[in-house]
Each structure stands twice: as structure tokens, then as C-alpha cells.
Structure 1
Amino acid sequence: MIEFYPQIKSVHIHTALLSGGLFALRGLAVLASMRWPLAAPVRYLSYTIDTVLLTAAMMLLTILPGAMFANGWLTVKIGLVLAYIVLGILAFQRSRPRRTRLFCYLGALLAFAQIYFIARAHHPLGVFYLLG
């Protein structure tokens, strides 16, 4: 399966960017009190993109050697993905105060940015490693 690594990695990268972009767009619209981001077709598109992203991630995890993850960058990235998911869910809950949703939305965007930089650097410090 290693022969498909470039294609799987490409799918993973592109769906990650699609997922983050759609989240950012939907979050802005929800904060502006628009209804379309919570409509079924948009939610299902988001679910589909995230399912493809997770599938590609699991495929990469199974085909890459374990030594590649020895410095802990993947563990930090997975922890931030969980934080991103929780913050994203809280940002879309209309029952929460607007200020809380805004902070959750901004926190999710920061988590996404750090996930991106960790993936680029293959280092747990992500953006801070790239700046140093």
C-alpha cells in the first residue's frame, strides 16, 4: 500500500484544507445569525469531507513506519484535533451565548492553524518551531 502514499497524502492534505475552510465559512455565517450553515446539505457535505479526511489519516497511519512519529508530533496533533472538534461543536450551538460561541470559534481556528503547522514541521511545537 506504500505505493499509494503520495495519492493518499494528497487526499489528506486537500480534504484537511477543505474541512478547515468550510468550518471557517460556516462559523462566520453562524456568528452572523445565518441559517444556511446548519442546513442538512451543508452539514452532510461537512460530514463527508471529514469522513474522507479521517479515512485518509488512518490509511497514512497504517502505512508509515512508527519511527516517523517518535518525537511526539502526531500525538500533539491528535490532541489538537480533539480540541478543534469540541470547540467547533460548541461554536455551532445556538443555545450558547454569542460571546462563548465566538471564543470557541476563534479557539477552534487557532487549533486548526497549529494542527496545520505541526503537520508541516513534523514537530510538536508547530508554528513556534518554524519561527525559531
Structure 2
Amino acid sequence: MIEFYPQIKSVHVLAVMASGGLFLLRGVLAQSGHGAWARYAPVRYLSYAIDTVLLTAALMLVTLLPSAVFGNGWLAAKLGLLVVYIALGMVALREASPPRRRSLCFVAALAAYGLMVSIARAHHPLGVFLYWVS
């Protein structure tokens, strides 16, 4: 199955971009007072579908990668940030949250997303900060 690694990685990367783009769109809608559109059922279901593809591709990649990849902790850092990103995103899109809290959580979720992407690109737990400490 290793011969499918490039295709699976491409699907994963595209799903990451689609998921982040949809979250950005939903967050902007929620922040601009159009939260009903951000929570509209077809938009939510599209988000679920994209995230399912993303998770499936990620699990396939984990099964294909050699165990040495897990040595430096970058995957663990990404998974930890994923939990933070999901929690912040839920608060950012929740209508019941105060507007200031929604805004702060939206910005923090985008920062967590960006850090996850930088960790994946660098294959190091520090991600973009790796270049600042070197």
C-alpha cells in the first residue's frame, strides 16, 4: 500500500486546506453577524464530510509511515493542537458565547491551525518556532 502514499498525502493536504478554508468562512460569517449561515445544516454536513476524509487519510498515512517518524514528537504535537483547535472552534462558532469570547477563540483557533500546518511542514514539534530558536 506504500505505493499509494503520494496520492493519500495529496488527499490529506487538500482536505486540510478545505477544512481550514471552510472554518475560516464559517468563522467570518459568525463574527459578522451571519451566524445562521455558518450553522446552516448543509454547511455543517460539508464540514463533517471534509473532516471525515481528512481523518481517514491521516489514519491511512499513520499506518503507512515507518515507526521512526513517531520518534521526535511532531505527530503528538499536531494531535494535541488538533484537540485545542476543535475546542476553540466550537466556542468560536457557538451562538450562545459572548461576541468577544467568540472573536478571541476564532483567532486562537486560526493560530492553532496555522501552527499545526507549520509543524506538519517542518516535521518538528516547534513548527515555525523552530527557525526562531535556531
Task: Determine whether 1:45 maps to 2:53.
Answer: no
* Superposition CA RMSD, Å: 0.8
Instruction: Name the CA distance, whole Å, in 2 between partners of 1:15 and 1:122.
Output: 19
Matched-pair identity in %: 57
Structure 2 residue aligned with 1:85: 86
AA aligned opposite 2:72: N
Deviation string, structure 1 residues 70-92 (Cα, Å, up to 9, x no partner): 01011001000110001001111
Structure 2 residue aligned with 1:54: 55
Show structure 1 runs of 5+ residues with no match: none
Instruction: Name the CA distance, whole Å, in 1 between partners of 2:72 and 2:56.
Output: 23
Instruction: Name the CA distance, whole Å, in 2 between partners of 1:56 and 1:37.
Output: 25
Q: CA deviation at 1:130?
A: 3.6
Instruction: Name the CA distance, whole Å, in 1 between partners of 2:83 and 2:10.
Output: 22
Structure 1 residue aligned with 2:8: 8
Residues 117-128 of structure 1: pairs in structure 2 closer than 5 A: 117-128=118-129
Is this contact kept in 1: 2:38–2:93, CA < 8 A?
no
Is this contact kept in 1: 2:85–2:109, CA < 8 A?
yes
Runs of 4+ in 1 over 6 A off after TM superposition: none
Q: CA deviation at 1:37?
A: 1.2
Structure 1 residue aligned with 2:26: 26
